[in-house]
Amino acid sequence: MTERHRLRSVLTLAYLNGIVPMRTQPLFLVSVLASPLSFLFFVTIASHGLYLKYAVTGGMLFTMLSIGTSLQTDLTHYRTDLKLQDMVVASPVEGPVYVTGLALSELLYSLPGLAVFAALWATGGPALGATGTYAWPVNLPNALTIGFTLVIVWGFASALGFTLATYFEDVREIFLFSSLISLGLTVFPPVYYPLSALPAWAQTIAYFSPTTYAAQLLHATTSAAATPVGSLAADWGVLIAFTVGLLFLAAAKARWREP
Amino acid sequence: MTEGVTKQYPKNVGRPPALDGVSLSIRPGGIYGLIGPNGAGKTTIIRICSTQLLPTAGTVTILGHDAIADPRSVRTRIAVIPQESRPLYFLNVDELVYLYLKMRGMDRAESRRRTNAVLEELGLVEERKRLVSRLSGGMRRRAMVAMVLASDAEVLFLDEPTTGLDPLARREVWGAIRRTIRDHRTVILTTHYLDEAEQLASRIALLDRGKVLLEGTADDLRARVRRPYRVTVDSRVPRTELERYGDVTDVDGGHLVFTRESDARELALKALGAGARVSMGPVSLEDVFLQVVGRPIDDGTTGEEAA
Ligand SMILES: Nc1ncnc2c1ncn2[C@@H]1O[C@H](COP(=O)(O)OP(=O)(O)O)[C@@H](O)[C@H]1O
Ligand SMILES: [Mg+2]
């Protein structure tokens, strides 16, 4: 395959797994939004609006992370139940092309959900009833920071989903583990609330989760108090290192031809 | 195409290998049938030849390319329908074919042209906008055959394309497969329905417990057995009188005798003289299997269990 063929292949996979299912089952789009929005709702109510500024970007992060779970589910389902992966292996389509195409399809699928959070963010708070210290600045640098962070999280979540998919034989196992993983990646780490809301010992544990760093970067755009000055660069570094590490792990784990 | 291919699955060390020195030479063009009971190793050899699985030993050459060392060159020239595979249910028939072609890297115009042609050819035009999840089993398989048929692959591997279909649906799929023989394209098909192999394949290899037992045209296979004729007579003729003509097996309401051609004629005349009902003819591939392997192909046990 030449680069042009690869690109066509990636886009075709993204279209067939990301756009086509929207048409046949639009309700799925609502279900993509259900969890991240309900978290936002609870956190905002429980904090009397104080944490809304964290939860808005937290919802975006949550949505991106769930891409990993969807990718993992689809990869396993297509490999074990449909034997689609066997068809793809015995074709010109290479492994990285297949995985990238599907990861992109999950992103497309999440775009409507992300758009809802982006719209919430763009109101800057007042439209949601948040004023004064509850509101956040809406500007281009912040929008770019959010965009870049989410793209890295997409790569991170996809690499994680792919790596996990190589371990599971059965879609049912995934449902079991994905809830544990999303607990470890999204509920416990400070995605919907500031890191400072955790007791000191829990903050230490949270630093082992890459989502903490992504959340720090996102929260810094809506709350000046979210991040201690000077650690933003470190957050970028750690998040990117995690992602690159996982991508390497995914590449090393990839079993395209069975031994 | 394959030379001494042996496969010992890592999970099964200590047990007999799934393939034990399989050498097959398949000439390009036409349909080649791999037959054998469940567990014979058909899927294993298909997966090795189509670069999905590495063999433990042996070499595989597809259209002059080494499938083990250079899988990329092979992959651009092949397409496969894996055993028990199912199409992506949320696509319609048209998208299934068209998007498969585009995924393989074909451009839009060519994919469109080939999709239209194949749907026309396989009688799927009226179903093109139907979701594949709403199709009958036979129609769904036909749609999958359409995918690989429309591709530019020169070698197609179809692993049990008709298993689980009713006889009518099987025939539909046969029709679709028959249309794939053109442009020097090679189709390698596995089945445990021997009548299907005979209907479709110009050459056949009979596999059992990882070994090739017989190879050739259906007639070659028949000629290779010692008693190439089958005569059934009803129970009016006592079994003892039949035994000198050949191997006798009891069947419903009578006996089945495998015998040589001259003896078959003699036996038939004699039985007719005794007023018995008689039928005779060349052995079927099922009979060949029974004679060569010593058990019926569909006796419900796999090679593994019987071993
Ligand atoms: N993935 C696998 N791991 C371990 N053993 C396998 C695997 N696939 C097949 N086998 C074994 O290899 C033998 C041949 O199987 P297979 O090639 O599927 O036969 P067939 O397609 O003719 O039914 C069987 O004994 C089967 O149990
Ligand atoms: Mg099989």
Q: Which residue has the tokens 């699985």?
A: B53
Q: Which of B206, B155, B204, B163 is nearest to B181 (CA)?
A: B155
With an 8 Å Cβ cutoff, are A86 and B84 in contact? no
- Domain co-membership, B168 together with B272: no
- Domain co-membership, B70 together with B117: yes
With an 8 Å Cβ cutoff, are B85 and A92 in contact? no
pLDDT of residue A227: 56
Range of the domain at B37: 2-222
- Domain co-membership, B134 together with B57: yes
Residues of A within 8 A of B102 (CB-CB) are: 8-9, 12
- Domain co-membership, B41 together with B101: yes
Report the C-alpha gap between B31 and B189 in whole angstroms: 7
- B304 domain-assigned: no
Strand B254-259 and strand B229-234: the pairing is antiparallel
Side chain identity at residue A208, one-letter code: F
Residue A93 host element (H or E): none
Report the C-alpha gap between A135 and B136 in whole angstroms: 57
Neighbours of A155 (CB within 10 A): 18
Distance from CA of A174 to the nearest CA of B (A): 20
- Domain co-membership, B130 together with B239: no
Cα A141 to the center of its chain, rounded Å: 21
- Cβ(B36)–Cβ(B192) below 8 Å: yes
Three-point CA angle B96, B98, B101, nearest 5°: 105
- B295 domain-assigned: no
pLDDT of residue A193: 85
How far does the centroid of ligand 2 lie from the alpha carbon of residue B159, in Å? 7
SS3 B215: strand
The better pLDDT of the pair A60, A34 is held by: A60
Residue of chain B whose Cα is closest to the Cα of A13: B103
Residue B157's beta-bridge partner residues? B80, B188
Structure tokens at A112: 């409507």
- Domain co-membership, B140 together with B208: yes
CA torsion B9-B12-B18-B22 (nearest 10°) is 60
Cα B54 to the center of its chain, rounded Å: 22
Residue of chain A whose Cα is closest to the Cα of B153: A91
Which of A:64-83 have CB within 8 Å of B?
78, 81-83
Structure tokens at A5: 């063929």
SS3 B269: helix
Look up the ipTM and state it.
Answer: 0.86
Residue B252 host element (H or E): none
Distance from CA of B3 to the nearest CA of A (A): 19
- B93 domain-assigned: yes
- Domain co-membership, B213 together with B233: no
Structure tokens at B106: 């074909």
- Domain co-membership, B211 together with B267: no
- B90 domain-assigned: yes
A19: contact with B, CB 8 A cutoff: no
Q: Which of A231, A230, A184, A228 is nearest to A210 (CA)?
A: A184
Q: How many CB pairs under 8 A join A and B?
A: 92
Residue of chain A whose Cα is closest to the Cα of B55: A259
- Domain co-membership, B114 together with B34: yes
Report the C-alpha gap between B206 and A189 in whole angstroms: 60
Which of A:166-205 have CB within 8 Å of B?
none
Q: Which of A145, A182, A223, A144 is nearest to A68 (CA)?
A: A182
Report the C-alpha gap between B74 and B66 in whole angstroms: 8
Report the C-alpha gap between B10 and A99 in whole angstroms: 26
Q: How far is CA B135 from CA A116, A171, A217, B91, B139, in A?
A: 37, 24, 49, 11, 6
Q: Which of A8, A78, A90 sits opposite B78 (nearest CB)?
A: A90
Three-point CA angle B103, B108, B109, nearest 5°: 140
With an 8 Å Cβ cutoff, are B90 and A21 in contact? yes
Q: How far is CA A203 from CA A195, B141, B267, in A?
A: 7, 55, 92
- B94 domain-assigned: yes
pLDDT at A52 over 90: no
The better pLDDT of the pair B299, B138 is held by: B138
- B291 domain-assigned: no
Confidence bin at B154 (pLDDT 50/70/90) = very high
How large a percentage of chain A has pLDDT more than 70? 91
- B52 domain-assigned: yes
Confidence bin at B305 (pLDDT 50/70/90) = very low
Q: What is the pLDDT of residues B61-105, one digit of tens each?
A: 999 999 999 999 999 999 999 999 999 989 999 999 999 999 999
User: HEC profile for B5-45?
Assistant: EEECCHHHCCCCCCEEEEEECCCCCEEEEEECCCCCCHHHH
Distance from CA of B234 to the nearest CA of A (A): 48
Return the CATH number at B140.
3.40.50.300
Neighbours of B90 (CB within 10 A): 18
Question: Is B192's C-beta closer than 6 angstroms to any atom of ligand 1?
Answer: no
Q: What DSSP state is assigned to residue A212?
A: H
- Domain co-membership, B139 together with B241: no
Q: What is the pLDDT of residues A126-146, one digit of tens each?
A: 666 666 667 788 888 889 999
Angle between helices B108-121 and B137-150 (to 10 degrees): 140
Report the C-alpha gap between B160 and A20 in whole angstroms: 29
Q: Of B85, B97, B103, which to mutate for an interface test with A (greatest number of A Cβ within 10 Å)?
A: B103
Whose C-alpha lies nearest to ligand 1, atom 3?
B9
- Cβ(B277)–Cβ(B269) below 8 Å: no
pLDDT of residue B302: 45
pLDDT at A253 over 70: yes
The total number of structural domains in chain B stands at: 2
Q: What DSSP state is assigned to residue B131?
A: B
Q: Which of A46, A149, A161 is nearest to A103 (CA)?
A: A161
- Domain co-membership, B102 together with B201: yes
Confidence bin at B304 (pLDDT 50/70/90) = very low
Give the residue-averaged pLDDT of A221-226.
Answer: 71
Q: Which residue has the tokens 């758009």?
A: A115
- Domain co-membership, B144 together with B232: no
Question: Is B36's C-beta closer than 6 angstroms to any atom of ligand 1?
Answer: yes
Q: Which of A20, A86, A92 sits opposite B76 (nearest CB)?
A: A92
Q: What is the pLDDT of residues B181-212, one digit of tens each?
A: 766 789 999 998 888 888 889 999 999 999 99
With an 8 Å Cβ cutoff, are A20 and B90 in contact? yes
- B271 domain-assigned: yes
